[in-house]
Structure 1
Amino acid sequence: MKVDRTRLYDSSDDFFELNGSIIMKLTRTAAQDVCIKALEHGLLVVRIERGIWHNPGFKARLDCIWDGVDPPVSEAEAMINNAKALEMIREESEVHDAFIITTASIKGYKSHRMR
């Protein structure tokens, strides 16, 4: 199963099962749950894009991008970062109703070496 780019997802389980990082649009509740559960999956929240959902469609707000820390990081650093991401979503929930979350392994990004 692939991510439906025209859908607003309301479940953090979908995010983790479908590898929704970078492309999945999430409701407030799902986005908050992703921040809470990310570390359980070894993930760090590295970016959140906030916007408004128009059924269907996501209206991105270019002035509403939150950047976290870059991996690799310790679990303690990831916990602090992901808590800050969660707090930002909570603070923005009255204005924005859709979020795109980018995650990465706390161990760092995959290497793309040329052969």
Structure 2
Amino acid sequence: MNTPRDVLFESAADFYLLEGSVWMRLSPTAAVEVCLSAAKNGKVVARIEGGIWHAPGFEARHDCIWDGLDPPISEADAHLNNLSAADFIREEMTMHTAFILTAPPIFGWPHKRIVQIAS
């Protein structure tokens, strides 16, 4: 899929429609919405990287990184994790204007599942 990397996405729906993750820059509002809906969509927010959007361009900030739980985990645990992720973004959104979410499936990282299946 050819995806635009010089866009700040304003909609959580785009995250799911475009199979977003580490390549997608989200507005603070969209990032919070993704966190709040991720567990229902089978995702856990494993990492958040915040930064400044420069229209276009993303300036990553080392002072705005959050690490969540590592899958596989239950949907209930993913939901609690993702609520904490949303709280982190809310705290940071006054200083940071864009966020990158790493959100693997709650059943585990795809590359690790391939290795487990092959073993």
TM-score bracket, shorter-length normalisation: over 0.9
- TM-score in terms of structure 2 length: 0.91
1:90 is aligned to 90
Q: What does 1:4-23 align with in structure 2 at a 5 Å threshold?
A: 4-23=4-23
2:106 is aligned to 106
What SS is found at the alignment partner of 1:95?
coil
Which structure 2 segments of 5+ residues have no match?
A: none
Q: Percent identical across equivalent pairs?
A: 50
Asked if structure 1 preserves the Cα contact closer than 8 Å seen for 2:44 and 2:82, the reply is yes
CA RMSD of the aligned region, Å?
1.5
Asked if structure 2 preserves the Cα contact closer than 8 Å seen for 1:2 and 1:18, the reply is no
2:63 is aligned to 63
Letter of the 1:74 partner, please give it: S
Bigger Cα displacement from structure 2, 74-83 vs 85-94: 74-83
Higher strand share: 1
**Residue 72 of structure 2 corresponds to residue 77 of structure 1:** no
Asked if structure 2 preserves the Cα contact closer than 8 Å seen for 1:22 and 1:102, the reply is yes
Distance 1:96 1:106 in 2: 27
Which structure 1 segments of 5+ residues have no match?
A: none
- TM-score in terms of structure 1 length: 0.94
Letter of the 2:49 partner, please give it: E
Task: Count residues with an aligned counterpart.
Answer: 115
Distance 2:3 2:14 in 1: 9
